[in-house]
Amino acid sequence: MLPTPATQFSISVTWHTDTPYPEIRPRDLRRSARIGLPSTLVHVVILGCGRVGSALARSVERFGHSVAIIDQNPAAFGRLPQDFTGLRVTGMGFDRDTLIEAGIEQAAAFAAVSSGDNSNIIAARVAREMFGVERVVARIYDPRRAEVYERLGIPTVATVRWTRDQILDRLLPDAVTPQWSDPSGSVLLAAIPPGPAWVGRRIRELEESAGVRVACVTRFGEGVLPDARTLVQDGDVVHVAVTKAHASEADTVLRTGPDGKDSG
C-alpha cells in the first residue's frame, strides 16, 4: 500500500516559453536528424535538481525531449543553464498534485535522483503504480537497499557505480550510450533493459534475434553470468557486445521484442 501523497505543499511553476503546458515542444526535426538525435520524442520528469538531476535535465533537453524537473528548494533551479526551456516545479516529488503539474500523466519516463533514498523510492513507485509511467529509475545512496527496491519493480542506480549516461540509457528511447568501445570504435559494450516481451525467453534467443552477445546480466543489483538456459526476468539489464553499425537496430529489438512490438 502506497502512502497517501501529501497535498499541503505549495507549488510554484515557472515557464520560460509562451507555449501552454502540457504540449510537448519538439525541436527542429531536421536538426535532430542531422546531429543524430532520437526520432522518438518523449516527456521526462525528474525529481531532484542537484548535480545529477540538473545534468540529466540538460542532457534530456539536448536530446530534443521535453523535460520537467521537481525540487523542494527553488534555489536549486539555479544549477540549470539560463537557456533551459523545460518546466521547473517547486514541491514534493511524491505529491500527486506536484507530479501532475510536472506533466507526469504525459510522461514516458521518470527519474528520482533527489538526496533522499526514501523520497526517491516512494516517488518512483507513485510514478509507476499510480500514473503508469513505463520507464522509471530511482537513485539510491545505500546500495544494500537495491535488491529490495528492484524486487518492487523499480530499477535503481547507486551513485558510486553509475553515471548520468547509464541513467539516460534507462530513461530514453533510441539512446545507446556505450560503456566501452574497442580502440577502433567498431565494437561497443552497452547496458540495455530488455522490453517486457523478452521476459521468460532464453538469453540465447535474445542474442540471436538482436544480433548481440550478452556478456552479463544485472539482476536485482547483482551481476550474473548467463548460460544457454538462462531466462530473461523482469527488471534485468543485459550488458551486450554489438557492432557500432548494428547498435541502433539491436537496441530496438531488445527494448521491444523479437517481433518488434512492445507488449508492455
Give the DSSP H or E segment for 252. helix 247-256
- Give me the mean pLDDT over the 136-156 stretch: 76
Q: CA 260, CA 264: separation in Å to the nearest integer?
A: 12
What pLDDT was estimated at residue 165?
Answer: 58
Tallying the residues shown for the chain, one arrives at 264
- Give the count of alpha carbons within 13 A of 264, CB side only: 20
What pLDDT was estimated at residue 38?
Answer: 44
Q: Which of 9-13, 79-83, 122-126, 247-251 has the lowest mean pLDDT?
A: 9-13
Backbone angles phi, psi at 198, to 5 degrees: -85, -15
**Model pLDDT for residues 58-86, shown as the tens digit of each residue:** 989 988 899 999 999 999 999 999 999 99
**Helical axes 51-62 vs 164-171, angle rounded to 10°:** 50
What pLDDT was estimated at residue 37?
Answer: 38
Domains with residue ranges and CATH for the chain: 12-171 (3.40.50.720), 180-256 (3.30.70.1450)
Give the DSSP H or E segment for 12. strand 12-14
Which residues does 238 contact at the CB level (< 8 Å), separation at least 6?
191, 192, 193, 194, 203, 206, 214, 216, 217, 232, 254
Percent with pLDDT over 90 in the chain: 44
Handedness of CA 22, 12, 132, 80 (dihedral sign): positive
Residue matched to cell numbers 507513485: 126
Which of 72-86, 133-147, 167-181, 239-253 has the highest average model confidence (pLDDT)?
72-86
**Model pLDDT for residues 186-212, shown as the tens digit of each residue:** 898 888 889 889 999 999 999 999 999
**Model pLDDT for residues 100-119, shown as the tens digit of each residue:** 999 999 999 999 999 888 89
Which residues does 92 contact at the CB level (< 8 Å), separation at least 6?
5, 6, 9, 72, 98, 119
Q: CA 126, CA 247: separation in Å to the nearest integer?
A: 33
Q: Give the chain's count of helices (H) and strands (E).
A: 8, 12
- Give me the mean pLDDT over the 75-99 stretch: 95
What pLDDT was estimated at residue 186?
Answer: 85
**Model pLDDT for residues 23-49, shown as the tens digit of each residue:** 333 333 333 333 333 446 889 999 999
- Give me the mean pLDDT over the 87-104 stretch: 96
Q: CA 150, CA 46: separation in Å to the nearest integer?
A: 19
- Give me the mean pLDDT over the 233-243 stretch: 90
Give the DSSP H or E segment for 56. helix 51-62
Q: Which of 132-146, 233-247, 249-263 has the lowest mean pLDDT?
A: 249-263
Residue matched to cell numbers 540549470: 80
What pLDDT was estimated at residue 83?
Answer: 93
Closest CA to 48 of 140, 165, 131: 140
Tell me the pLDDT of the chain averaged across its residues. Answer: 78
Pick the residue with more confidence: 127 or 192? 127
